Chains A and B, each alone.
Chain A
Amino acid sequence: MKLAALSEQFYSLVAPDIPNEWDVDEVLEPLLDEEESICRIILDHVPVIWPVSHSLCYDFLRLAPGALQSLSIVQLPEWVGITLDMYENDGLRSAQRFMQNDLTEYLSRLKGMGGLRLEKIEKKLLPYIRGIARDTLQITAARETYTDTDTIFIPAELSVFRGEEENFLLYKLILAYQWGYIRCGTFLGKAPAGLPAYSNEENTLWLRNFLNDFPEPSLARDLYHLLEAIRVKHFLTRELPGLMRAAASLPLPDNSGTMATSQPHAFLHQLRQCITGSGTDLEKVLSPHLNRDETAKYLQGKATADDSARNTAILYERLHNQHEEYTPLSPLLFQGRMKLQAVARARCERKAKMEEQLTDMMASYLLNISREKRDALLRDEKEKNDGSALAESDISLIMDSEFINTADREKDAPLLVTINNESLELPEELDAFSREFMDEFGDLPARFISSAAGKAGRGGFSGETEDGDNKEKSLTDTLVFDEWDYRRQGYRKNWCSLHMKELTPIHTSFIRNTLEKYHGLSIRLRHQFEMMRNQERYVKRQREGDDIDFDAVVESLSDTRAGLPPSDRLFIRLKRDERDIAVIFLVDMSNSTAGWVNTALKESLVLMTEALEVLGDRYGIYGFSGMRRSRCELFHVKHIGEPYGEEVKERIAAIAPSEYTRMGPPLRHATETLQKIDAKVRLIITLTDGKPEDYDDYKGQYAIEDTRHALLEAKTAGIHPFCITIDHKAQEYMQHMYGPANYIFVDNIRKLPLRMPEIYRALTS
């Protein structure tokens, strides 16, 4: 092809721009050697690149012929695409660099070689490890491999091997090993028999103290970690033989980073080789240092973490050389590091959480035992608290003494709670949970029963007051409402003023975490709610319709023959079920909701809104609280018709316990709002944790009667009120306020997020 023809083509492609002729000729020159078809393919990309950057386009023309030596023609568009992405993300320089230098890397990636990024396979790995572990473990990308027993931290990218497949296998192996450590109990929390216990075990792990107690902690750690890796390997070979077989053929590079010069290093190297399967017989490595029984344990996979701890001490004694400094080995690729402080932290968190749950369960249990017992108990507790703080609680949790001395049966011994020397057997759920707790953390905390009793005594799950003053700013509107006074069977005119307030949105990961936590559920909900959307279906046996129902006709003819009156329902009709629903959620923000209740309320709202978005029902969400009749507050989370966006999500996250529960004004306001909305079904759903109550005389019967009246007003306006409560004593007054079947009592607050969408579904279908 002639240069003139090429440049003419180029000018027509970039028109109306008229670039410098000299430049054009220079970049087009290399193309002269190419075939015409190739030139056309290269020039085809000019209109794409030219408008983005002229100099990038020149570079492309200059480099394309060379690139086509290694790229196939089909790959060219993708290569151009990546270059343009680079230009847009990182600028001209990096795009040029990519075109010039990174071609080989790009090519190897195209061939499926090179690093494997976690994000690419995370969606596959997460269910994989959760399935394998039968537990909800998390995966997070981190610089180093380790686990804190809740989350497994793994590198964001693996490029140990050239092939993607091998790297993926390594990812699986890493996860399996980390899970193995958790499952095999490597992270010892309690002192094994024969080894010293440490005093400060509340906040840290026994194992950490134990290892740090050695003059050379890193040697002890490496010894223990490798002994444990042998155990885990045995476990995994039993549990996941397929994976371990595949892993055996993985040529793992040696990454120890040190030469096997000193005695401990030589030993550890041999141990590592036993684990990677590339070397010496384990028996030969262990038997010079450990006695035959201990060696056999490791050979047969029968050792325990306790054994490893004891053997670590023995091996340390034999191998440690005081005059030589020990340089720690970098761990095997799949072995990861032991970050015991992280484990201790996760353990602490879990302990706190379980303690709280246990206390809640215990409290609700105490609330359900007979009244006299409880009253006696609470009175005692109170006296103690008033008297000396040191007096011991009369309630305690013990193992049934009949079983206590038979060691092997001890585990099955029923747990008893004794109250003033009277024993009660625990319900199954509580029993199982306490046992789980004791298994992991040793003894039940002494204080938990008394705090459960305290909670039970307060008649609900009230927590400490939280200061929520700076969390909201007031909107200008103040609304005035009447209040019903049952004593005079009339309204107190303009009695309460309701202030509309705005919740300040807060940025948290709450929404994301919740959706992650209930991932399975939210998919299910989405599916279920999709099914509730406007549906079209055929209904048979109709009096009129679009088509003849043949079955019905035959039956009707037969009936006529048999001398029976024939049915006139002979048609099939297409029926459209349309939803036309508007709903307001009123969320209790009184201070009694602090803690678990508040979290559960918010989680339920998140799941609910996600599901409602699918359904397309119109809905609004408001929180309510306040103090005295002059300052009732209504917090805006979402108006009806307002789109469900980031701000709404952040406001949901901002819902926090505030002051009291004066139910009348918010209900009346919701009624007014809904009255202005045209919908076939209008609903007010209240989420609360207890009776209506305010600081002034708004309590007891007065409060209940006013609330009841506010609800009656709603009903008169054609609005269905419904209440979801978690108050244990709800039955007494709820029926009076809402009427039968218009409220529901959720006994386990943790189930609320699951129950609420279910309840809504039942209500509206």
Chain B
Amino acid sequence: MDTAQQHLAEHLITREPYYLATGSEIEIALSAYKNGLPLLLKGPTGCGKTRFMQYLAWKLQRPLITVSCHDDLSTSDLVGRYLIRAGDAVWTDGPLTLAVRAGGICYLDEIVEARKDTTVVIHPLADDRRELPIEKRGEILTAPPEFMIAVSYNPGYQSVLKDLKPSTRQRFAALSFDYPKPAQEAEIVCREGNIDKTLADDLVKLAAMTRSLKESGLAEGASTRLLIQAGKLYNDKIDIHTACRTGIVEPLTDDPELLAAMQEMVSSIF
């Protein structure tokens, strides 16, 4: 159990993460927590969903256990499994079980990537039963009031094959995230990328331009995360054009024409 405690301590966030509220999402999440409601965060990539969870975990002073979902994720990966240790079969808790036992926050990132038969395991946890059956041990864990489950997904490139089942969806209080308004986004980029205000403003302008390229075949425009990334590169004495190319333009697409067009935008702004 000591090791488990130790594990949990690692998941506790001690320093306040930077998060700039764009609306009333913090109050809503706190209220959801108080009422034992699970949270569904939706929004494009790199708009601050994960950072929001970190902030929330810090604010509530609960350990945050994040699981990045993928299509090979099995129920055992979440709940736990028996392993053979020194000739004995030893039960090892999965991240979900760990979070339930410790009354932490379990955050399933990109939940749609997981197979549907895996995600049903959270159903009893996400409604008023708040319990996690551990089949192999014949045990039913009841979540303490401090436990919270949150999931996230990106409706942008959601495919029908990877949609959430309505039965899963309808257990959550949903918060919709989007890229912050220009002024706020600039503030975030300014602060996180440690760059001055004018540059942050220009980066945000560039982001808005790439985001309008959806019609021209760009799957998604530059996220706040990419802007911060470019800002950081610039901060490290990389010249602004290179910083934008490596930090923003190149990660977005491989299409040579779009790349060239975005490169031109960069050189037009800076």
- Residues of A whose CB lies within 8 Å of any CB of B are 123-128, 130-136, 172, 176, 239-243, 246, 519-520, 523-524, 528, 531, 540, 554-555, 557-564, 758, 761-762, 765
Docked-complex contact A555 and B268, CB < 8 angstroms: no
Pair A562/B89 contact, Cβ less than 8 Å:
yes
Contact between chains at A127 and B89 (CB < 8 Å): no
B141-185 interface code vs A (CB 8 A; 1 in, 0 out): 000000000000000000111000000000000000000000000
Question: Are A557 and B268 interface neighbours, CB within 8 A?
Answer: no
Q: Is B267's CB under 8 angstroms from A127's CB? A: no
Q: Roughly how many angstroms separate A761 CA and B258 CA in the complex, as a whole number?
A: 28
A524 vs B268: C-alpha distance when bound (angstroms)? 28
Collect the chain B residues with CB atoms within 8 Å of residue A176's CB. 268
- Sorted from nearest, which 7 A-B pairs have the closest CB atoms? A561-B89, A243-B268, A558-B82, A127-B261, A562-B89, A131-B209, A134-B212
Query: Bound complex: CA of A528 vs CA of B158, how far in Å?
Result: 10
Q: Are A124 and B257 in contact (CB under 8 A)?
A: yes
Residue of B nearest to A555 (CB): B81
Min Cβ gap B34→A in Å is 30
Select the residue from A130, A562, A762 with max chain B CB neighbours within 10 A.
A562
Taken together as a complex, chains A and B put the C-alpha atoms of A62 and B213 apart, in Å, by: 54
Which residue of the partner chain A has the closest CB to B82?
A558
Add 17 more A-B contacts to A127-B213, A540-B72, A563-B89 (CB < 8 A): A124-B260, A127-B257, A128-B265, A131-B209, A131-B210, A131-B261, A172-B264, A241-B270, A242-B266, A242-B267, A243-B268, A520-B214, A520-B215, A531-B159, A558-B83, A558-B89, A765-B161
A127-B262, A128-B264, A765-B161 given as contacts; is B215 within 8 A of A519 (CB)? Answer: yes
In the complex, what residues of B have CB within 8 A of residue A561's CB? 82, 84, 88-89
Q: Complex: how many Å from CA A765 to CA B163?
A: 12
- For residue B269, CB closer than 8 A to chain A, the reply is yes
Report B82-122 CB contacts with A as 1/0, cut-off 8 Å. Answer: 11100011010000000000000000000000000000000
Given contacts A130-B215, A134-B212, A135-B212, contact A559 B260 (CB under 8 A): no
Chain A residues contacting B76 (CB-CB under 8 Å) are 555
In the bound assembly, the distance between CA atoms of A524 and B216 in angstroms comes to 10
A242 near B159: Cβ-Cβ < 8 Å: no
Contact residues in A for B215 (Cβ distance below 8 Å): 130, 136, 519-520
Inter-chain contact B217/A132, CB cutoff 8 Å: no
Bound CA–CA A353/B217 (angstroms): 25
Given A127-B261, A242-B267, A519-B215: A134 and B209 interface contact (C-beta under 8 Å): yes
* Cα–Cα distance between A135 and B205 once the two chains are bound (Å): 14
Q: A520 contacts B160, CB within 8 Å?
A: no
What chain B residues lie within 8 Å of A124 (beta carbons)? 257, 260-261, 264
Is A127 in contact with B216, judged by CB distance below 8 angstroms? yes
Given A558-B84, A561-B84, A761-B160, residue A131 in contact with residue B260 (CB < 8 A): no
B265, B268, B269, B270 interface centre (most CB from chain A within 10 Å): B268
For chain B, give the interface size range.
Answer: 35 or more
Q: Does B7 have its Cβ within 8 Å of any Cβ on chain A?
A: no
18 contacts between A and B (CB under 8 A): A124-B260, A124-B264, A127-B213, A127-B261, A127-B262, A128-B261, A135-B212, A136-B215, A176-B268, A242-B268, A520-B217, A524-B219, A540-B72, A558-B89, A561-B84, A761-B159, A761-B161, A765-B161
Instruction: Decide: B212 and A126 in contact? CB cutoff 8 A.
Output: no
**In the docked arrangement, what's the CA distance between A246 and B82, Å?**
66
Instruction: Report yes or no: A132 in contact with B213, Cβ–Cβ below 8 A.
Output: no
B83 contacts A242, CB within 8 Å? no
Does B233 sit at the interface, judged by CB under 8 A?
A: no
Interface residues of B in 24-82 (CB under 8 A from A): 72, 76, 81-82
Question: Do A557 and B261 form a contact, CB below 8 Å, given A131-B213, A240-B268, A520-B216?
Answer: no
**Contact A132 B82, CB 8 Å, known A520-B214, A520-B218:** no
Q: Do A130 and B83 have beta carbons less than 8 Å apart?
A: no
In the complex, per-residue mask of B223-257: 1 if CB is within 8 Å of any chain A CB, else 0: 00000000000000000000000000000000001
- Using Cβ atoms and an 8 Å threshold, which residues of chain A touch B270? 241-242
State A524–B160 Cα separation when bound (angstroms). 13
Are B216 and A130 interface neighbours, CB within 8 A? yes
Query: What is the CB-to-nearest-CB distance from B91 to chain A, in angstroms, rounded to a whole number?
Result: 7
Chain A residues within an 8 Å CB radius of B89:
558-563
Give the chain A neighbours of B258 by CB distance below 8 A: 127
| A130→B212 contact, CB < 8 A | yes
B91 contacts which chain A residues (CB < 8 A)?
A: 562
Please measure, in the bound complex, the distance between the C-alpha atom of A132 and the C-alpha atom of B208, giving whole angstroms: 9
Contacts of A564 in B (CB 8 A): 82, 136
A304 to B264, CA, bound (A): 29
- Whether A130 contacts B213 in the complex (CB less than 8 A), given A241-B269, A762-B160, comes out as yes
The answer, among A131, A136, A559, for a CB contact under 8 Å with B262, is: A131
Complex-state Cα separation, A564 to B83, whole angstroms:
13
Q: Shortest Cβ distance from B236 into chain A, in angstroms?
A: 21
Given contacts A540-B72, A561-B82, A758-B160, contact A243 B267 (CB under 8 A): yes
Complexed CA–CA distance, A242 and B206 (Å):
12
Within 8 A of A (CB), among B172-201: none
Closest B residue, CB atoms, query A560: B89
Indicate which residue in B159, B161, B211, B268 contacts A132 across the interface (CB closer than 8 Å). B268
Closest-by-CB residue of B relative to A762 is: B160
Q: A242-B267, A246-B267 are in contact. Are A131 and B212 (CB under 8 A)?
A: yes
CB distance from A574 to the nearest CB of B (A): 15
For residue A523, which residues in chain B have a CB less than 8 angstroms away from its CB? 217
Counting chain B CB atoms within 10 Å of each CB, the highest count among A240, A246, A519 belongs to A240
Q: How close is B166's CB to chain A, nearest CB, in angstroms?
A: 12
Q: How far is the CB of B175 from chain A (nearest CB, A)?
A: 19
Interface contact A125-B82, CB-CB below 8 Å: no
Quick one: which of A128, A134, A524 contacts B208, CB cutoff 8 A?
A134
Q: Name the residue in A123, A125, A176, A519 with the highest tally of chain B Cβ atoms < 10 Å from its Cβ.
A: A123
Q: Hey, which chain B residues are within 8 Å of A133, CB to CB? A: 212
Minimum CB–CB distance for B29 against chain A, Å: 25
B218 to chain A, nearest CB (A): 7
Per the bound structure, the CA–CA distance linking A138 and B205 in Å amounts to 21
| Residue in B89, B205, B261, B262 whose Cβ sees the most chain A Cβ within 10 Å | B261
Cβ contact within 8 Å between B160 and A765: yes
Contacts of A131 in B (CB 8 A): 209-210, 212-213, 216, 261-262, 265
Question: Closest approach, in angstroms, between the C-beta of B36 and any C-beta of chain A?
Answer: 32
Least CB distance from A763 to B in Å reads 9
**CB <8 Å contact, B257 and A123:** yes
Q: Given the complex, which residues of B lie within 8 Å of A134, measured CB to CB?
A: 208-209, 211-212
Closest chain B CB from A466 CB (angstroms): 30
A562 touches B82 (CB 8 A): yes
A152 CB → nearest B CB, Å: 15
In the assembly, what is the distance between CA of A459 and CA of B138, in Å? 60
Query: How far apart sit A8 and B2, CA to CA, in the bound complex (Å)?
Result: 95
Given A519-B217, A555-B81 in contact, is the A562-B136 Cβ separation under 8 Å?
A: yes
Q: Report A-chain residues with C-beta under 8 Å of the C-beta of B213.
A: 127, 130-131, 520
A136 to B212, CA, bound (A): 9
Q: How far is the CB of B5 from chain A (nearest CB, A)?
A: 24
Q: A240-B269, A241-B270, A558-B81 are in contact. Are A132 and B209 (CB under 8 A)?
A: yes
With A and B bound together, what is the CA distance between A172 and B263 in angstroms? 12
Residues in A neighbouring B210, C-beta threshold 8 A:
131
Q: In the complex, which residues of chain B have a beta carbon less than 8 angstroms from the beta carbon of A555?
A: 76, 81-82
What CA separation (Å) do A520 and B258 show in the bound complex? Answer: 12
Say how far B163's CB is from chain A's closest CB, in angstroms.
Answer: 8
With a cutoff of 8 Å between Cβ atoms, the chain B residues found around residue A519 in the complex are 215-217
Q: How far is the CA of A557 from the CA of B87 in the complex (A)?
A: 11
Taken together as a complex, chains A and B put the C-alpha atoms of A241 and B201 apart, in Å, by: 13
* Shortest distance between the CB of A290 and any CB in chain B (Å): 31
Residue of B nearest to A541 (CB): B74
